[in-house]
Amino acid sequence: MSREKEPTVENGPVVDKKPDVLWAEDATPRKPISGSLKEIARYWWRQLTSMRTALILLFLLALASVPGSLLPQKSLSQSKVNEYIAKHSVLGPWLDRLGFFNVFSAPWYAAIYLLLFISLVGCLTPRIAVYWKAVRAAPPAAPKRLNRIGEYASETMTGASDSRIDASYSLLRKARWRVERRESDDGTITLSAEKGYLREAGNLVFHISLLALLLSLALGKVNGYEGSRIALEGEGFCNQQQSFDSFRSGDLVTGADMVPMCLDLHTFNTTYDADMTPAKFDGKVTWYVGLDGKKHQANIGVNHPLRQDGVRVYITGHGYAPVFTVTMPDGTVRKNVTAPFLPTDQKNFGSEGAIKLDTGDPEKQLALQGFLAPTAVDQAGVIASADPRVLDPQVALVVYQGYTGLDTGIPQSVYTLDQSLIKDGLLKKAAAKNLKPGESIVLADGTSITFDKVLQWAAFQISYDPGQDWVLLSAVVLLVGITTSLSLRRRRLWVRLTPRDDGSHLVEVGGLAHTQPATFAREFAGISARILDRAPANPDEEA
């Protein structure tokens, strides 16, 4: 019967059935278990809570966030979303159905977010327990053969062994190594030292901060709200749900939680560069809190929001609104008939919109649909805009009469007409004309519509996120943790003094680095030279 050879490694430690454990590593992933439901559930829980899965989910979350920065979002600018869908008639509707224009509220984004949260909690809990035990445990005992690990030096020396060990102990402690002294029955004395424990601490702090950041974002969404409102020059609104054009809030938000702040827009100005690229937005507003609150003046621009009691007011867009005067056949005059027109040309701000007017007679209601050019140019009877500034405004106006559906109580878009009413003949075209300021269009029944002027409008977004400060704090701690983890190195060092029969003793020094072995080699050379009373080959090794 042949005897199995003992395993050997020429340039490494001997490996047998029970090898010396130098570094604690993650357990090898187990193969799927075909058995009871409990075993299968346990297997998939291990897969979900592994660091590999957490990293994959983190990558997927970052990847899923990309469309939110590349595609227009409904929460920021509904007009840009409409423009994108109009330009991409095939792709746009599909992206809308899949939630790519509202990425951060999409179900698939929330699913990735929740899985990442669960994975991090399940992954970090056992790691923190393992690290706590490792911090409290003494450095591991020296391997039997120090000459077969990463770095090694030895010297046969005479003299008092205790003084040699004490000097080595003091040297390592002064260099902030954790040191454990061990003695065996045969007189061998060993020092086990370890350094770089904060590397794993930094890694844990990074992941805990990432978890705190995700939790802060989630709590901010649950307890926060966001509303959007388009306001014309001279118009105001309050921080109330019914005042917004669109409003989203967390499940824990009630009307009583909203800061009673009101805001009036006085003027809105846009400064352009030479190539007509907007360089600066400036909305001059008056704001106050409560009915009896003191009024304050403020300028709101891009990246310069108004902040008050945790509420942030941003300007997210702007545009134009034509103003009309409508004179009825009976002599009734309605002034300042207007509505925001949404830009269809973001460069020159050609805009489209609609105005619906209830005349009191359901069969003779008015609907105005038009195209506004801030600086108009005539192209074979069709006007277009040549400049985003209001230099020579014109509006191509189409007037409809009939039934607008305003009395049905069914919500309608304020920017477009219901095409089904036109198709069914309930709303009929009455007249069409290109108008300059001061010009009018007269219908067959004597109704007169005069184009007066152009106002600017600004799109405001009011946001309240109580988790914002915690997100910032978590991000800062996260950076500190990852910097600590990347800058520190985990390493171990052993000093062994073995007595000999002739009264001398063999002093061995061995070291092992978990990362960056070349850097540790220089550090080891300096330490071993001082322990063995050698002159360092390089003065830098003394460090």
pLDDT in the model for residue 13: 42
Strand partners, 300: 283
Q: Which amino acid is at 257?
A: D
The CATH homologous superfamily of the domain defined by 146-196+489-542 = Kinase associated domain 1, KA1 (3.30.310.80)
> What pLDDT is attached to residue 458?
93
- Contact assessment for residue 140 and residue 21, using Cβ atoms and an 8 Å cutoff: yes
Quickly tell me which residue has 């007009």 as its tokens. Answer: 79
> In this structure, what is the dihedral angle of CA atoms 225, 231, 236, 240, given to the nearest 10 degrees?
-20
Delimit the CATH 3.30.310.80 region(s) of the chain: 146-196+489-542
Backbone angles phi, psi at 374, to 5 degrees: -60, -40
- Per-residue exposure over 63-87, b if at least 16 CB sit within 10 Å of its own CB, e if not: ebeebbeebbbbbbbbbbbbbbbee
Q: Residue type at 94?
A: W
Q: How much is the pTM?
A: 0.65
Spans of the chain below 50 pLDDT: 1-28, 539-543
Q: Is 439:450 a contact under the CB 8 Å cutoff?
A: yes
pLDDT of residue 371: 96
Predicted local distance difference test score (pLDDT) of residue 539 = 46
Q: What is the pLDDT of residue 537?
A: 53
Beta-bridged to residue 435, according to DSSP, are 395
> Which pLDDT score, from 0 to 100, does residue 5 have?
40
Q: Pairing between strand 448-464 and 440-442? A: antiparallel
